[in-house]
Chains A and B, each alone.
Chain A
Amino acid sequence: MIALLALLLAVELDEPGPVRLASAGTPTPVVWLQDGREVARTSDGDAATIALPAGRVELWAKNPTRGAWMAVARPEPSGDGFAYTPAVVAHAPPQPPAATWTQWAPAAAALALALLAVPRKDRPRGLRPAGRRLAPRLPWRS
């Protein structure tokens, strides 16, 4: 299983303006990319604000953690008091732990031993036919 390394957040603004970026659940900073270029880094407990043009912009949030984490992007309007703004949210589900060489070693050793034990001429060269029922009919068969 390959770890999920990046989340895609599509932000769409009616007019150019600041966008607030935040993330949670990563032990190391999340790197934010726009058009392949790093535009911000965020850690748990802090946020970054970037300026984006009007229209749809795709932001990638990257982090190698295998735990569950999330990334949030939202416009940051100015005004009086506290104003609610909806956000674009992306989640990375927890990933299974990566197999280490110690987990692969026994299987690799067993395979190597098996190959040594089977005479070369008897080694399978490919998949067998899918099944007897798919085999061509014999000419004397009814």
Chain B
Amino acid sequence: MRATLPALLAAALLAATPPAAGADTPAPAQLLAIVELLPDPAAGAREFVEIHNRGNATAELAGHKLRDAGGSTFTFPAWSLAPGARVVVWGGGAGDAFGPAWSLATVWNNGGDRAELLAPDGTVLDSVAYGTGTPLRAPPKGKAIAHDGTKWVEAEPTPGTGPGQPMGAVIDVEVANVAPEATIALASTHAEPGATVLATVRVSDANGPQDVHWTLQDGAQVLAEGRGGTHEVPVTARSTPVRLRLVATDEAGLVAQAEATLQPLLGLTVILPPEGLGFPAFTPGAKSVAAARPFEVRNPDERTLLPRLDVSDLRGAGGSLPVAGHLQVGWQVGNTTTWIAYSGPLTALPEMPPGTAAKVWLRYQDVPAPMPAGRYGASFTVVA
């Protein structure tokens, strides 16, 4: 026995209520009803539930749900159901022209259960209960319960057709299988070569996670593969970008793809002239002692980097000479050189956009006097 039929009740009320004069009383847009259910199929057959569009407009089923008494739920993919047409939701296996398939092979309890059809907002559009505790007897093996237009009866299963009609006669549903969805999220978009970054792979399919297979590839190399769901895959960074490609394929052959790139964290590259910087000896009282040649700083990274210069104090025969306040840094980009005063360890230099380079000149100004003449040395580095 049908437990609730709010949609049909609404239609009955509309039919029974005389329209007010001049009132526009359009037919209901759609009336979706459960019309057949096979809980205990014969050998070789599958469980199914059949939905009938009794309205006069095409029903878009995407997001509608079927639910059993235990809460197992099937969510319809995109599926257009023409007026008068029927759609079958099979238990397990693959969908076909009659309808999609539930990821569960067995849903409906043989001894008794309740099927509910829900709108996307959760409203129960129709339901039917059978077996224990209901007026409708559970059908024997191989028999279905079917609604003949006025009442529920025990009948031979006729998926996709009305009771008594030959099976397979009605194929007026619009098959609109949807492609799976696939995304990749990297825990970090940049990493030092050799470091491991977790890639979170999310693959879903309207027919359930088991219906979709995915592979995560780095070029031609398959890093991981599996069935739908959420998975974490460790990815090792290298000095060149790691271009990840996720390909998900469902059983109908529909494909979804996603891509992500793990960029190397390269830092700055410092290139020294083979001949050295060519610093002359320090002369007491000299106004300026300058390097003969610059070194070059490059940013091979894809990020803008802030280079910082660290120079130790000069040491030599005369002891120690401070560099802070004396050292000038010439930052040459193209033909333009900007002079920056070195103020101490890790002095910030101009930002370097990705792929840029600069020549760096060093000169020491205002050598103290008196001081022992001779050679002085210091070490420096550039970091970012």
Residues of A within 8 A of B (CB): 20, 22-24, 42, 44-47, 49, 70, 72, 74-87, 89, 132-133, 135, 137-138, 140-142
Contact = CB atoms under 8 A, between A and B. Distances in A.
B255 interface: no
Given A132-B70, A142-B39, A84 B380 contact: yes
Contact of A142 (B106, B270, B272): B106
Contacts of A83: 377-380
B72 A132 contact: yes
Contacts of A141: 106, 109-110
18 contacts: A45-B345, A46-B345, A72-B346, A79-B377, A80-B375, A81-B291, A81-B375, A81-B376, A82-B291, A82-B311, A82-B377, A82-B379, A84-B270, A87-B381, A132-B71, A140-B110, A141-B109, A142-B110
Given A87-B310, A133-B104, A141-B110, A82 B346 contact: no
Contacts of A137: 106
Interface string B123-167: 000000000000000000000000000000000000000000000
Interface in B279-300: 279, 291, 295
Contacts of B345: 22, 24, 42, 45-47, 72
Interface residues of B, number: 42
A141 B384 CA distance: 66
B41 interface: yes
B267 interface: yes
Given A77-B379, A82-B362, A84-B380, A142 B277 contact: no
Chain B's interface: helix, strand, loop or mixed, by majority? loop
A45 B72 contact: no
A85 B276 CA distance: 13
Given A82-B377, A85-B379, A47 B70 contact: no
A44 B344 CA distance: 8
B312 A81 contact: no
B310 A23 contact: no
Contacts of B70: 132, 135
B109 A80 contact: no
Interface centre among A23, A42, A133 (most CB of B within 10 A): A133
A125 B131 CA distance: 33
Contacts of A138: 109
B72 A87 contact: no
A67 B142 CA distance: 70
Contact of A22 (B41, B310, B384): B310
Nearest to B68: A132
A80 B280 CA distance: 9
Contacts of A77: 379
B359 interface: no
Nearest to B348: A24
Given A82-B379, A89-B267, 6 more contacts: A82-B279, A83-B378, A86-B381, A87-B383, A132-B72, A142-B108
